[in-house]
Amino acid sequence: MIPSPATTRVFQGVASRQQMFRMFDRHAERPKRWDGDAAPFYSGEWFEIGETEHDYMFEVLPPLWIRGSTFAMREFMTGSVTSVFFALRIEASIRYFHGYCDLSGKASVETMRVAIIERESRAVRAMTRQERLEHIWSITAGDYRGYAGDEWPQSARGKRTVILYGGNEGTLLKLLDELTDGETAAKLPVHLRHLPSQIAA
């Protein structure tokens, strides 16, 4: 299991339409996809999109509901978790976000809204370790990421893995959560590698 924290930014920067659709189901390849409650995999994940992508999603289907500048998708990802789209004023600019909210919790949408504004209003650009790992997972192609199988110790099975390039040593399969700081930096795009670390709230 890799349940998301309460709210987590899973992609840095503004996602393109292709990236947006890919991240709608970041956990598609997980083992036993149709077994158990999938809500913990999705609930609380969010990322930024462009205005064009926001407006496109508004026109795909009639929303489940509209509340001011926020609307929810009629089709649910799993159980009571669905896509919620936000148009938020942050530091005098309107920005657009997608988040997965569990609508069984009455405060989930407001909790997401507040978390996004708080995260994006920080004076200094920084990333938590969790945000770095989630970004790596989001941008890694399916052929280079996966889940620990039966050949791994029992405690690791089902956890996310990524392929690393070890130079003369060839490739190495490693648990995402166990990447060192150096390995994490190497997997990030150049413009994100040297951002300061932010202590998770």
Query: Residue 5: in which H helix or E strand, if any?
Result: none
Question: Length of the chain in residues, anyone?
Answer: 201
Whole-number pLDDT of residue 102: 93
pLDDT value at 72 more than 50: yes
Whole-number pLDDT of residue 187: 86
Whole-number pLDDT of residue 26: 87
pTM: 0.83
pLDDT in tens, 8-62: 899 988 999 999 999 998 887 887 777 767 788 888 999 999 999 999 999 988 8
Cα separations in angstroms, 34 against 70, 148, 185: 30, 18, 34
Rounded to the nearest integer, the mean pLDDT of the chain is: 85
The SS3 of residue 81 is strand
